[in-house]
């Protein structure tokens, strides 16, 4: 018994390590990528929007394939390892690319590969936590720490050590992805098939069930209006801080530190808080805090106040990271979980692509302040469709799991 428990604890550390390293790499890369494109490669806002949107739109068509392949083969870990290795190689190729059309091509292939990584890791981690009684929210704290470490360290390298932004961003990114791929060889496989409940379907996954699942479709719309938009506008926040408000690049790191550090404490209790407050009510509170945060972004020219507003970020991240996974697990058959996670990523990616394209034009024509004003409208729409929904009753009324 003690040996089994020790193995389980070791596996928990492995998952925590890969979340830390994996997200650290993206912390180095994504907050600074748009600034890199504008400052180092001389791309305009419209060109940046085009780079992002073309790559993301292409990956939308690919993402369901990863989920279907994983659900049908059960080889979640094998696919995760392959994707991590391929993505690290493509990141190096992107670092060597300077021409606009080459950047578009490489980022497009990167997105097609990279869109499957996080869902594969999440499926493995969620399954592991369910089997061992671990709290997925607490496990994700490692990812929050990784994001803080990556984004702050990149800013330190650029500002304090005066390192070129390309080297400061790409070299650690590639190294951390490669290390994540190595650790992925040692995490446990998905055991979903072995623990399937008696009343759950045993036939091959039918993606058509997701199209008919109103609860799942509702979550996709909500995520499109909130999470995908947040990702898109945050990608331009570095440009807003450095080029509009006149802050130095280290402010980008501090923006992520302020926004993510509260997660370290909040995610320890997030699941229990959502259960006590009620999932629907918590989602509503999260959207309200999101609106207030972006109102501050839209009007302030003070860098300190801009950074301070990000402290409420974890309130929205709790539903986005923890609540959505639990929601999908409740409303979707077990043999479609991987596909559902991938479709969720595809919807978020589609939203990021469309919003990035629009934001690139808005950034060039109206300036970066308009990005935040534009976003507020969609957050209000998300709140309005959230208020009347009954899809959270399965949590808040403690009902038995049913398929919607």
Task: Render pLDDT for 364-396 as a digit per residue (tens, 0 to 9).
Answer: 999 999 999 999 999 999 999 999 999 988 876
Q: Is the pLDDT of residue 3 over 50?
A: no
Percent of all residues in the chain with a pLDDT value above 70, rounded to a whole number: 91
CB burial of residue 208 (10 Å; 0-12, 13-18, 19+): exposed
- If one counts every other C-beta atom within 10 angstroms of the C-beta of residue 394, the result is 18
Name the residue with higher pLDDT: 160 or 89.
89
Q: Check residue 376 and give its pLDDT.
A: 96
Q: Check residue 204 and give its pLDDT.
A: 57
Mean pLDDT of 262-274: 80
Give yes or no for a contact between 108 and 121, defined as CB atoms under 8 angstroms apart: no
Please work out, in degrees rounded to the nearest 5, the angle formed at the alpha carbon of residue 307 by the alpha carbons of 306 and 310. 100
CA distance linking residue 37 with residue 103, whole number of Å? 9
Give yes or no for a contact between 232 and 281, defined as CB atoms under 8 angstroms apart: no
Nearest to 176 by CA among 10, 28, 34: 28
First-to-last C-alpha distance (Å) of the chain: 40
Given pLDDT bands bounded at 50, 70 and 90, which one contains residue 194?
Answer: very low
Q: Check residue 397 and give its pLDDT.
A: 65
CA distance linking residue 129 with residue 131, whole number of Å? 5
- Residue-wise pLDDT for 45-60, tens only, equals 889 988 888 887 777 7
Which DSSP state fits 336? Answer: G
Q: Check residue 348 and give its pLDDT.
A: 83
- Both tokens assigned to 312: 């409420």
Q: Is the pLDDT of residue 298 over 60?
A: yes
Nearest to 260 by CA among 215, 300, 312, 219: 312
Q: Check residue 270 and give its pLDDT.
A: 81
Q: Is the pLDDT of residue 202 over 80?
A: no
- Which pTM value belongs to this model? 0.70
Mean pLDDT of the chain: 85
For 360: left if phi > 0, alpha if psi spans -120 to 50, otherwise beta; the answer is alpha
- Residue-wise pLDDT for 123-161, tens only, equals 899 889 888 888 887 888 898 889 889 988 998 898 888
Element (H, E) at 46: helix 45-73
Please work out, in degrees rounded to the nearest 5, the angle formed at the alpha carbon of residue 196 by the alpha carbons of 200 and 346. 75
Which domains, ranges and CATH numbers included, belong to the chain?
A: 2-189+206-396 (1.20.1250.20)
CA distance linking residue 350 with residue 288, whole number of Å? 24
Sorted by sequence, the CB contacts under 8 Å of residue 230 that are 6+ apart come out as: 290, 316, 375
Q: Check residue 192 and give its pLDDT.
A: 56
For 73: left if phi > 0, alpha if psi spans -120 to 50, otherwise beta; the answer is alpha
Cβ density class 19-47: b for 16+ within 10 Å, e for less: bbbbbbbbbbbbbbbbbbbbbebebebbb
CA distance linking residue 112 with residue 231, whole number of Å? 18
Q: Is the pLDDT of residue 170 over 50?
A: yes
């Amino acid at each position: 018994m003690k040996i089994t428990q020790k193995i389980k604890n070791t596996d928990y550390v492995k998952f925590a390590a890969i979340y830390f390293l994996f997200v650290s790499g993206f912390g180095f890369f994504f907050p600074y990528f748009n600034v890199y494109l504008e400052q180092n490669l001389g791309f305009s806002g419209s060109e940046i929007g085009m780079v992002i949107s073309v790559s993301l739109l292409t990956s939308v068509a690919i993402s369901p394939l990863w989920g279907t392949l994983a659900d049908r083969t059960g080889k979640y870990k094998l696919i995760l390892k392959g994707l991590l290795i391929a993505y690290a190689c493509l990141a190096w190729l992107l670092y060597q690319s300077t021409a606009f059309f080459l950047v578009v091509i490489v980022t497009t292939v990167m997105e097609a590969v990279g869109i499957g990584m996080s869902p594969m890791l999440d499926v493995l981690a969620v399954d592991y936590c369910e089997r061992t009684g671990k709290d997925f929210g607490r496990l994700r704290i490692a990812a929050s720490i990784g994001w803080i470490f990556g984004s702050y360290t990149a800013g330190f390298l650029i500002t304090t050590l005066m390192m070129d932004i390309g080297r400061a961003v790409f070299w650690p990114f590639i190294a951390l992805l490669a290390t994540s791929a190595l650790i992925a060889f040692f995490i446990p496989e998905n055991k979903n098939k072995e623990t399937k409940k008696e009343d759950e379907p045993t036939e091959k996954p039918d993606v058509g069930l997701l199209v008919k699942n109103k609860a799942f479709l509702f979550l996709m719309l909500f995520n499109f209006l909130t999470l995908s938009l947040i990702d898109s506008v945050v990608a331009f926040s570095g440009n807003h801080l450095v080029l509009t408000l006149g802050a130095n690049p280290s402010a980008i790191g501090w923006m992520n530190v302020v926004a993510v550090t509260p997660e370290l404490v909040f995610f320890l209790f997030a699941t229990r808080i959502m259960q006590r407050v009620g999932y629907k009510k918590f989602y509503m509170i999260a959207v309200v805090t999101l609106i207030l945060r972006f109102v501050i972004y839209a009007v302030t020219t003070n860098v300190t106040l801009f950074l301070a507003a990000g402290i409420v970020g974890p309130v929205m991240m709790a539903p986005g990271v923890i609540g959505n996974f639990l929601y999908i697990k409740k409303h979707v058959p077990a043999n479609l979980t991987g596909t559902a996670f991938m479709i969720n990523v595809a919807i978020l990616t589609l939203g990021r692509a469309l919003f990035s394209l629009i934001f690139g034009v808005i950034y060039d024509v109206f300036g970066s302040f308009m990005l935040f004003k534009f976003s507020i409208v969609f957050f209000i729409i998300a709140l309005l469709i959230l208020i009347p929904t009954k899809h959270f009753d399965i949590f808040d009324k403690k009902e038995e799991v049913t398929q919607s």
